[in-house]
């Protein structure tokens, strides 16, 4: 499974590789209610092949209509052949026509990207960085349309300084689940729907045999090795669900020393207290132990495996957004 950003960058590269030009749309600003965040992208060929979205569908329809009747290409030429900004929802009439949420407005940057060797190289670099699980920014010169890349990551998805736009692209978030059980199945399914790359780890014999969720990698390797090698960066989360210290604690002793945006362990208040008392024996400092979310998840009086999974993924999602918020 690829993130939406990877899919859009990858498809754009494919189109450029087949010598097709591409319209690339990026949300620069939003006001009021908006179905898509700043930085969301949509790419489209002149023939109308489209990937990604910048609204609930209304703006996409308007874009395709302007593409078909030649308005977009004419606007591009009128602007001198450089990127231009389209403002949607400025008037109440336009909000009604486009069926935008009440008070919703958004500014969208439109770029017409030609299939030059330079542009192909730039998008190949972007895709490679995302596949290598590293952050990267797409830099656009708004006066010339020239594209470059920078090995930088900003808290804001889009930053405009003078004629320079920096669009930060994030790799797909990864989630490591410890312990093959019913809760892990529901967590994995929800995490997949939320565009996480999910791995289940359980080194106990036979535990993985009958556990299956489509698109989820399974491994019986030692949890601390898996954390150290693949889940130690800010785009990683670790969720201990085994209810077995031999599995959970082995992962936690490594995970709590990493830059992972989330580390949590399932268990009651009593179990969580006992775990916190045990972790210093594994070489963890009090400061590191305080990073642990335990009991795991938001307290919603959950009882069933599905309800527990909802509370866990709600907390994971909140922590992901909190970690990305400007300091």
Quote the CA–CA distance of 30 and 61 in Å, as a whole number: 19
Q: Are residues 149 and 183 in the same domain?
A: no
The pair of structure tokens assigned to 280 is: 């210093």
Q: Are residues 45 and 134 in the same domain?
A: yes
- For residue 282, the 8-state DSSP code is G
Q: Are residues 123 and 229 in the same domain?
A: no
Q: Are residues 182 and 275 in the same domain?
A: yes
Q: How many structural domains comprise the chain? A: 2
State the burial class of residue 34 (Cβ atoms within 10 Å of its Cβ: 0-12, 13-18, 19+). buried
Give the helix/strand (H/E) hosting 71.
Answer: helix 71-78
Domain stop point among 113, 140, 169? 169
Domain stop point among 169, 193, 218? 169
Domain span holding position 235: 174-324
Q: How far from 1 is each of 40, 126, 183, CA to CA, in Å? A: 18, 17, 21
State the burial class of residue 286 (Cβ atoms within 10 Å of its Cβ: 0-12, 13-18, 19+). exposed
Domain stop point among 136, 169, 202? 169
Q: Are residues 160 and 194 in the same domain?
A: no
Each residue's pLDDT, cut to its tens digit, for the chain (327 residues) gives: 678 899 999 999 999 999 999 999 999 998 776 678 899 999 999 999 999 998 877 888 889 999 999 999 999 999 999 999 988 876 666 555 555 555 567 899 999 999 999 999 999 999 999 988 888 999 999 999 999 999 877 778 899 999 999 999 988 899 999 999 999 999 999 999 998 999 999 999 999 999 999 999 999 999 999 999 999 999 999 999 999 999 999 999 999 999 999 999 999 999 999 999 999 999 999 999 999 999 999 989 888 999 999 999 999 999 998 876 544
Q: Are residues 305 and 179 in the same domain?
A: yes
8 A C-beta contact, residue 236 and residue 254? no
Q: Are residues 121 and 195 in the same domain?
A: no
CATH code where residue 260 lies? 3.40.50.720
Q: Are residues 114 and 191 in the same domain?
A: no
Q: Are residues 201 and 268 in the same domain?
A: yes
Q: Are residues 115 and 180 in the same domain?
A: no
Q: Are residues 27 and 147 in the same domain?
A: yes
């Amino acid at each position: 499974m690829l993130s939406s950003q990877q899919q859009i960058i990858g498809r754009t590269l494919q189109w450029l590789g087949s010598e097709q030009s591409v319209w690339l749309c990026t949300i620069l600003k939003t006001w009021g209610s908006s179905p898509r965040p700043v930085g969301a992208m949509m790419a489209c060929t002149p023939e109308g092949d489209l990937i990604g979205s910048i609204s609930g569908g209304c703006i996409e329809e308007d874009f395709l209509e302007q593409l078909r009747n030649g308005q977009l290409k004419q606007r591009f030429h009128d602007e001198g052949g450089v990127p231009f900004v389209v403002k949607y929802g400025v008037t109440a009439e336009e909000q009604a026509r486009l069926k935008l949420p009440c008070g919703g407005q958004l500014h969208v940057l439109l770029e017409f990207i030609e299939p030059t060797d330079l542009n192909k190289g730039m998008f190949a670099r972007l895709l490679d960085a995302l596949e290598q699980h590293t952050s990267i920014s797409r830099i656009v010169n708004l006066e010339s349309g020239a594209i470059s890349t920078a090995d930088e990551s900003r808290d804001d998805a889009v930053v405009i300084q003078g004629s320079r736009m920096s669009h930060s692209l994030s790799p797909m978030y990864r989630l490591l689940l410890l312990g093959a059980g019913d809760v892990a199945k529901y967590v994995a399914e929800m995490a997949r729907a939320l565009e996480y790359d999910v791995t289940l780890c359980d080194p106990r014999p036979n535990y993985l045999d009958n556990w299956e969720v489509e698109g989820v990698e399974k491994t019986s390797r030692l949890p601390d090795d898996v954390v150290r090698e693949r889940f130690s960066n800010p785009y990683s989360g670790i969720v201990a669900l085994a209810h077995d210290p031999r599995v959970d604690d082995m992962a936690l002793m490594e995970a709590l020393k990493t830059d992972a945006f989330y580390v949590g362990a399932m268990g009651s208040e009593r179990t969580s207290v006992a775990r916190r008392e045990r972790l210093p024996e594994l070489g963890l400092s009090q400061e590191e132990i305080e990073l642990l979310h335990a009991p795991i998840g938001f307290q919603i009086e959950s009882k069933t495996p599905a309800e527990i999974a909802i509370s866990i993924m709600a907390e994971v999602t909140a922590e992901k957004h909190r970690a990305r918020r400007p300091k």
